[in-house]
Amino acid sequence: MATLEIVFAMLDANVADAIMGNHEYNALAFATLDPDNSSQYLRSHNDIHTRQHAAFLAEIAFGSERHQYCLIGYTSCLYGLKQTTLVLFMPAGMSIVWRYCSHY
């Protein structure tokens, strides 16, 4: 939760546009219903994925008001990235290319 508080503070202070690593992205997909199939989540709730999110869910219960609050800050990023290619240009000419797939 401390990490999310730092991220939200940076966003609120307008010193960051969006901060999302693979852990945050996976957490969003885990908690977001598939808009094409509302009986499933974008990231399946199988044993492996549930275990990966266990520490966070032990601190913030899935579906709780606090959980929903945390999701609000990132949800628009998830839908904005759906089925797109993201290219990050980093210092020293390094770039990262990431193709988002809508299902895991």
**Average confidence (pLDDT) over 11-18:** 72
Domain ranges of the chain: 2-99
Q: State pLDDT tens for residues 21-57.
A: 777 778 888 888 888 899 999 899 999 999 998 988 8
pTM for the full model? 0.58
pLDDT of residue 60: 85
What gap in Å lies between CA 32 and CA 49, rounded to an integer? Answer: 14
**Structure confidence at residue 49 (pLDDT):** 94
Residue 48's pLDDT is what? 95
Q: What does DSSP assign to residue 40?
A: E
**Residue 104 pLDDT:** 37
Q: Which two tokens stand for residue 22?
A: 């693979």
